[in-house]
Amino acid sequence: MMKQSIVYMFHAIGSDNELLGSDPHYSFSLDKFEQFIRQCGGCGSLKDSISGGADKNIITFDDGHISNFKAAQIIKDTNGGTADFFINPNTVSTPNFLSWSQLQEMNGMGMSIQSHSLDHLYLSDMTMDEQRRQLEVSKKTIEDKLGLEVTILAPPGGRFNKDTIQLCHELGYKHLSVSEPGKWSSSYISKRVAVYQNTDVEELLGCNKILSPYLISQILKYRITGIAKSVFGNRSYDLIRSKILGGSL
Ligand SMILES: [Zn+2]
Q: In this predicted model, what pLDDT tens digit does every residue of 23-44 receive, in sequence order?
A: 889 999 999 999 999 999 999 9
Residue 29 makes CB contacts below 8 A (sequence gap 6+) with 13, 14, 15, 197
Question: For residue 122, how far is its CA from the centre of ligand 1 (angstroms)?
Answer: 10
Question: For residue 120, how far is its CA from the centre of ligand 1 (angstroms)?
Answer: 6
7: pLDDT strictly greater than 60: yes
d(CA 172, CA 167): 8
3-state SS of 71-93 is HHHHHHHHHCCCCEEEECCCCCC
Q: What would the DSSP string read from start to end of 169-186?
A: HHHT--EEE-SS-S-BSS
Q: In this predicted model, what pLDDT tens digit does every residue of 154-177 receive, in sequence order?
A: 999 999 999 999 999 999 999 999
Question: For residue 62, how far is its CA from the centre of ligand 1 (angstroms)?
Answer: 5
CATH number for the domain harbouring residue 125: 3.20.20.370
Q: Which residues make beta-bridge pairs with 177?
A: 190
Question: For residue 228, how far is its CA from the centre of ligand 1 (angstroms)?
Answer: 19
Q: Is residue 145 part of a domain?
A: yes
Question: For residue 179, how far is its CA from the centre of ligand 1 (angstroms)?
Answer: 10
Q: Is residue 24 part of a domain?
A: yes
pLDDT for the residue 56: 80
Q: Is residue 218 part of a domain?
A: no
248: pLDDT strictly greater than 60: no
Q: Is residue 241 part of a domain?
A: no
Q: Is residue 238 part of a domain?
A: no
Q: State which residues form the domain around 51.
A: 6-213
Q: In this predicted model, what pLDDT tens digit does every residue of 220-239 receive, in sequence order?
A: 988 888 766 766 677 777 77
Question: For residue 26, how far is its CA from the centre of ligand 1 (angstroms)?
Answer: 10
Q: Is residue 160 part of a domain?
A: yes
Beta-sheet pairing, 152-153 with 6-10: unpaired
pLDDT band at 53 (very low <50, low <70, confident <90, very high): low
The secondary element (H helix, E strand) that includes residue 216 is helix 213-245
Q: Is residue 230 part of a domain?
A: no
Q: What is the pTM (predicted TM-score) of this model? A: 0.92
pLDDT for the residue 249: 40
Question: For residue 126, how far is its CA from the centre of ligand 1 (angstroms)?
Answer: 16
Question: For residue 242, how far is its CA from the centre of ligand 1 (angstroms)?
Answer: 15
Average pLDDT over residues 198-207: 96
Question: For residue 219, how far is its CA from the centre of ligand 1 (angstroms)?
Answer: 19
Question: For residue 170, how far is its CA from the centre of ligand 1 (angstroms)?
Answer: 23
Q: Is residue 79 part of a domain?
A: yes
Total number of domains in the chain: 1
* Buried/exposed code over 213-241 (b: 16+ C-beta within 10 A; e: otherwise): ebbeebeeebeeeeeebeeeeeeebeeeb
pLDDT for the residue 69: 98
